[in-house]
Chain A
Amino acid sequence: QKEVEQNSGPLSVPEGAIASLNCTYSDRGSQSFFWYRQYSGKSPELIMFIYSNGDKEDGRFTAQLNKASQYVSLLIRDSQPSDSATYLCAVNKGRDSGGSNYKLTFGKGTLLTVNP
C-alpha cells in the first residue's frame, strides 16, 4: 500500500462547480496534512494545512480530515479556470519542526481541469 494515495484523475469540472479532491494515507501516526497546488513546470504552492479532525475553511477552499478513516479531502467551491492544476496531498508525522519529525510524504497528485 502506498503511503499517500490520490486519484490521479484527470478530474474535470465546469466553472462554478465544486471540485472534490481525495487523499488517503497509511501511517496512523501522521499528525499534519497539507494540500499543495502545482501548475505545470512550477514549484508547489501551499493551499492549506490541517491538524485536527473536521473541517477547516479558507476562502473557497475547505479541507476535511478524518483520522479514523485516514482520509483527507479538499473541496474547492466556485471553481475557476485558474484553479486548473495538479493538487498534491502531503502528510507529515509531526506538527512542526521539533523532534526532527518533519518529513513530508507526497501523493502523486490529482490533475484538475476547470472548464469555462
Chain B
Amino acid sequence: GAVVSQHPSRVICKSGTSVKIECRSLDFQATTMFWYRQFPKQSLMLMATSNEGSKATYEQGVEKDKFLINHASLTLSTLTVTSAHPEDSSFYICSALGDKGSGWDTEAFFGQGTRLTVV
C-alpha cells in the first residue's frame, strides 16, 4: 500500500483563488518532504525542500510567496498555491524521506500527485 498519501488527486479552481495540497507520510516520520512540479512531457522539477519545523528551501526561480509550504508535523506537509493563474496548471507531486538511520532514508517515497487546473 501507499506510504505517502497526497490529496486531492485532482482539483480545478478559478483564477485568483488559492489551492492547498496535502502530503502525508503514513508509515514513517518524514523529516524531509519535497515538492515537485511537472508540466506535460517534461521532467519533474524540484520546487522546494521542507524540513519539519523549519522554513522551506526554495529552488531558484520558485516564488516562495506564491507557493507556500508548511511542514508543521513529521507526517504532514502542505503546499498552497496562492492567487493561482492558468500558467500554474500542472501536476504537483510530493515525496517524503525519513531521518538518517530510520530505514526510510535512502529512498524518497512519492505521493500520487495532484493535477491542478486553473480556469
Show the binding face of A for B, using Cβ within 8 Å: 32, 34, 41-46, 49, 88, 95-98, 102-109
Decide yes or no: A95 and B106 within 8 Å by CB, A42-B113, A103-B49 being known contacts.
yes
In Å, the complex CA distance between A44 and B109 comes to 9
Asked if residues A103 and B46 are in contact (CB atoms below 8 Å), the reply is yes
Q: Indicate with 1 or 0, residue by residue over B28-41, a CB within 8 angstroms of chain A CB atoms.
A: 00011010000000
Q: Which 8 A-B pairs have the closest CB atoms?
A: A98-B100, A97-B105, A43-B113, A108-B43, A96-B105, A106-B43, A106-B44, A43-B110
Contact of B106 among A49, A105, A107, A109 (CB under 8 A): A49
In Å, the complex CA distance between A103 and B101 comes to 17
Tally B residues with Cβ within 8 Å of A: 26
Q: What residues of chain B lie closer than 8 Å to A102, measured between beta carbons?
A: 32, 97, 105, 108
Asked if residues B111 and A46 are in contact (CB atoms below 8 Å), the reply is no
In Å, the complex CA distance between A32 and B113 comes to 24
In Å, the complex CA distance between A88 and B49 comes to 20
In Å, the complex CA distance between A38 and B115 comes to 15
> With an 8 A cutoff between CB atoms, is B63 at the interface?
no
Q: What residues of chain A lie closer than 8 Å to B111, measured between beta carbons?
A: 43
A112 → chain B closest CB, angstroms: 15
> With an 8 A cutoff between CB atoms, is B99 at the interface?
yes
In Å, the complex CA distance between A69 and B4 comes to 35
Q: Which residue of B lies closest to A95 (CB)?
A: B106
> With an 8 A cutoff between CB atoms, is B112 at the interface?
yes
Q: What residues of chain B lie closer than 8 Å to A105, measured between beta carbons?
A: 46
In Å, the complex CA distance between A91 and B105 comes to 15
> With an 8 A cutoff between CB atoms, is B65 at the interface?
no
**Could you list some 11 contacts between A and B, CB below 8 A?**
A34-B107, A41-B115, A88-B44, A97-B32, A97-B98, A97-B106, A102-B105, A104-B108, A106-B43, A108-B43, A109-B43
Q: Which residue of A lies closest to B99 (CB)?
A: A97
Known: A32-B106, A104-B46, A108-B43. 4 other contacts (CB 8 A): A49-B106, A88-B44, A96-B106, A97-B106
